[in-house]
Structure 1
Amino acid sequence: MRRRSDERGRALLDALLEGRSEPGLAARAADVLGLPEQGRYAVVALRRGGGAPSGTAMEADGLAFLRRRRADRETVVVALGDRDPAVLAGLLARWCPGPGGIGPVADGLAGLGAARRLAEVALLTCPPGTTDIVRLEERLPMALVVSQPELSARLVADVFGPLLTLDPADRALLVRTLDAWLECGGSAGRAAGRLYCHRNTVLNRLRRLERLTSRSLSRPRELVEMMLALDAFRLTAPQP
């Protein structure tokens, strides 16, 4: 009987995560899973599973977790209660191998399907080779990029096209410099410290990047294009 109940619970959870809208589905799932129908939930999409078996219910730091594994993907449903979802990334990193994406908070079990879809978009913003677990709210511009792969490819070709003809090491140097400059809030001095080079070296590389792309980092619209193209490039560039 326990096994049948567990199987029924997993089936109901899968139906919710798939976004089905059957009448009474959320109420039945709440009853079988022992969770509040109208609670606050977060959904996490992981690229590869690990740790507890699929379907396992767990508790950690006062939070309840349900895990479902499918091939190379795993979905984790977290009953948040009144907790801040910002604590999830650090907590999950203890026992879930990244990378992973956390969707927006769902108000009730009926919202798990939409939260799961957005969690998978957040996961797509994790470049190959990374192990971070990220929240969608922290990656919205990049999420827009990955949601439109055709447009992303055209953006990279249009903005970074001349860079693609460079020697890979030369291209990587310019991209890394732009990334560091952006991460340092547009400060060439701080970027130089991060890159272990002189401030003028950073400025010279950025000027060269502007010449190659025919865009100015001092013009807001063109800077936005460069930032979005950089996100798209990082997500699609082959790893060394």
Structure 2
Amino acid sequence: MQRRSDERVRALLDALLEGRASPDLAERAAAGLGLPERGRYAVAVLRAERRGPVHRVVDVDGMRFLWRTRADREIAVVGLGDRSLADLTAVLVGRCPGPGGVGPVVDGLAELDRARRLAEAALLTCAPGSTGIVRLDERLTTALVVSQPELSARLVAEVFGPLLTLEPADRALLVETLDAWLECDGSAGRAAGRLFCHRNTVFNRLRRLETLTSRSLSRPRELIEMTLALDAFRLTAVR
């Protein structure tokens, strides 16, 4: 009987997460899962492994969690109550190494498929081998790029094409310098401290990067292209 009950829970949860068309699905799922049909929900998707395919509803810090394991993913359906996505992320960070992505808040069980798709998009912004839990609202532009792999590859080819012909170590040095400079809000001095080199070295590398790409970091539109190409290169393109 317990096995049949677990199978029913899994079937209802999968139907919600996949957005299967059914006029009374949310109502049946609410009854079967013991969750309210309407309310503030979020979905988190993590690259991790758990024992067992499904966990019953568990209350943690005022939130209700229901876990589902699928292939190399763990999916958490979370009833937020009056808690925020920041509260959810803090709970997940304390319990899961990640990487993981958290989608936006939705208003009921019927919207869990959209929440799951957007959580998957947030997860795509996590670099291979990274840890941590990220929210989609913190990674919108990056998620936009990596969710379109064909366009991402085209962007990398158009912007970083000349870099791809360099020796791997040389290319990595320029990419690392650009990344550090962006992370340091355009401060060559702070980037130099992070890279353990002189600030003039940072300037020289950035000028070389501008020459290779035929783009200027001082022009807003070209800076945006370089930034998005960097995200695409790190997350979707062949290194």
- TM-score using structure 1 length: 0.94
Q: Distance in 2 between matches of 1:88 and 1:203?
A: 41
Q: Label 1:22 to 1:221 Cα distance change in 2 as closer, same or farther (>3 A).
A: same
Q: Matched residue pairs, number?
A: 238
Cα distance, 1:27 vs structure 2: 1.0
Q: Deviations over 1:59-82 (max 9, x none)?
A: 222211111111111211111001
Partner of 2:120: 120
Cα distance, 1:90 vs structure 2: 2.6
Question: For residues 124-203 of structure 1, what are the structure 2 equivalents within 5 Å?
Answer: 124-203=124-203
Contact 2:152 2:237 (8 Å CA) reproduced: no
Contact 1:49 1:97 (8 Å CA) reproduced: no
- TM-score using structure 2 length: 0.95
SS in 2 for 1:39: strand
Which AA in structure 2 matches 1:146?
V
Contact 1:5 1:32 (8 Å CA) reproduced: no
Partner of 2:99: 99
The root-mean-square deviation of aligned C-alpha atoms, in Å, is: 1.5
Contact 2:156 2:237 (8 Å CA) reproduced: no
Partner of 1:10: 10
Cα distance, 1:132 vs structure 2: 2.0
Task: Give yes or no for the alignment of 1:56 onto 2:72.
Answer: no
Partner of 2:207: 207
Contact 2:126 2:235 (8 Å CA) reproduced: yes
SS in 1 for 2:215: coil
| Uncovered stretches (5+) of structure 1, i.e. residues with no partner | none
Contact 2:62 2:83 (8 Å CA) reproduced: no
Q: Label 1:198 to 1:206 Cα distance change in 2 as closer, same or farther (>3 A).
A: same
Contact 1:104 1:118 (8 Å CA) reproduced: yes
Cα distance, 1:109 vs structure 2: 0.4
Q: Distance in 1 between matches of 2:229 and 2:19?
A: 32
Partner of 2:226: 226
Q: Distance in 2 between matches of 1:87 and 1:182?
A: 28
Runs of 4+ in 1 over 6 A off after TM superposition: none
| Uncovered stretches (5+) of structure 2, i.e. residues with no partner | none
Cα distance, 1:35 vs structure 2: 0.9
Cα distance, 1:2 vs structure 2: 4.3
Q: Distance in 2 between matches of 1:230 and 1:213?
A: 12
Q: Distance in 2 between matches of 1:194 and 1:138?
A: 23
Contact 1:17 1:113 (8 Å CA) reproduced: yes
Kindly, what percent of the aligned residue pairs are identical?
Answer: 74
SS in 1 for 2:94: coil
Q: Distance in 2 between matches of 1:7 and 1:236?
A: 36
Q: Distance in 2 between matches of 1:104 and 1:18?
A: 16
Greater Cα shift, 23-32 or 56-65: 56-65
Q: Distance in 2 between matches of 1:69 and 1:95?
A: 16
Q: Deviations over 1:154-200 (max 9, x none)?
A: 11011111111111111111111101111111111111111111111
Q: Distance in 1 between matches of 2:90 and 2:189?
A: 31
SS in 1 for 2:69: strand
Q: Deviations over 1:70-110 (max 9, x none)?
A: 11112111110010111222311232241111111111000
